[in-house]
Amino acid sequence: MMNLVKEAAMKVLSYWSKKSELYLWCACGAAMLAVIAYVVEERPTDVLAVMFREAGAQSISRWLVHDLPPLVAHENVGYGRVFESLACLSVVWMGVAPVVRCVSEETGVYFEAEGIVESRASGTVWIFLLIAAQFSSANAVADRIFYFCAVVLGVFMVGVVAWFALWLIHRRAPYYETGRVLDYFGVIGSVAVRIGAIVVVALLFAAVGPLIRAVVWLENAESDSRSEAKRRVRTREQARVEADEASNAQGATISAVVNAAGSVGGGRQRA
């Protein structure tokens, strides 16, 4: 039995790893459901029950209200706190991951940070928040998330005040070491602000990004065949330009070699 469960779990993980678009859509649904639960002050399953009842699926609505497994049906603040912590750790990792990749791959921090947008981590945050809202309540989860954001902002503001105080001291009595510390923490602060902004954009895009792409796809005013033909034309044009550049570079190299050989021969004749 355990082997069957393990094999099924591996197949599910393999399927999800190949279907990133499907996972992003699930994350988008989780984000929408979590926000609605917070607005109406209900648990996510109660929101789903109302939606299915209004859609005419009475049996599913009754199952969500009366026949859910006890693990999901009853509130459990401890489990809710666990998934809240996982969501917060995921947000922190989204901020730290670009720095880690920058150090390991020797690329730019901002270049790596741009990869957070449309990443699975941003969608995972919303899924963790939805599960936490089911075990606890959406309002309680939102209050603790706001508290987490306030703590992060408070730590950053303390750092800004400390940097400004050190700058005032350096202005009155400039020292080389003080200037180096100011420059170092100034760079860190700048990177933290930009990465933080990208993380916020990534979380917002995880909530509405698939919907935006769907609307753009539906409102596309150019046929797929026309777009493909234009893409092929651009590809051929780019290949032609690259071939011309390579030919010109080769011609310049040959000319340089001929000129060098001519100058060497002329020098020998004069000698």
Question: Is a pLDDT exceeding 70 seen at residue 236?
Answer: yes
Does residue 152 belong to any structural domain of this protein? yes
Residues 4-18: tens digit of each pLDDT: 545 655 665 565 555
> Considering its fold, how many domains does the chain have in total?
1
- Cβ–Cβ under 8 Å, residues 107 and 115: no
Q: Is residue 101 part of a domain?
A: yes
Residue 108 in contact with residue 191, Cβ under 8 Å?
no
What's the chain's length in residues?
271
Domain that holds residue 86: 20-218
Rounded-to-integer distance, Cα 257 and Cα 208, Å: 59
Q: Give domain status of residue 181, yes or no.
A: yes
Amino acid at residue number 201: V
Give the tens place of pLDDT for each residue, 18-69. 556 778 888 888 888 888 888 887 888 888 888 888 887 788 778 877 777 7
Q: CA distances (Å), 226 to each of 111, 218, 259, in order?
A: 32, 16, 49
Given a contact cutoff of 8 angstroms between Cβ atoms, the answer to whether 175 and 3 are in contact is: no
CB 206 within 8 A of CB 23: no
As a dihedral over the C-alpha atoms of residue 26, residue 27, residue 28, residue 33, rounded to 10 degrees, the angle is 90
Asked, for residue 243, whether it belongs to a domain, the answer is no
Indicate yes or no: pTM above 0.85. no
Q: What is the DSSP letter of 101?
A: H
Tell me if 238 is assigned to some domain. no
Note whether residue 265 is domain-resident. no
Cβ(163)–Cβ(181) below 8 Å: no
Asked whether residue 49 is assigned to any structural domain, the reply reads yes
Residue 120 placed within a domain: yes
Identify which of 74-78, 127-131, 183-187, 217-221 has the greatest average pLDDT. 127-131
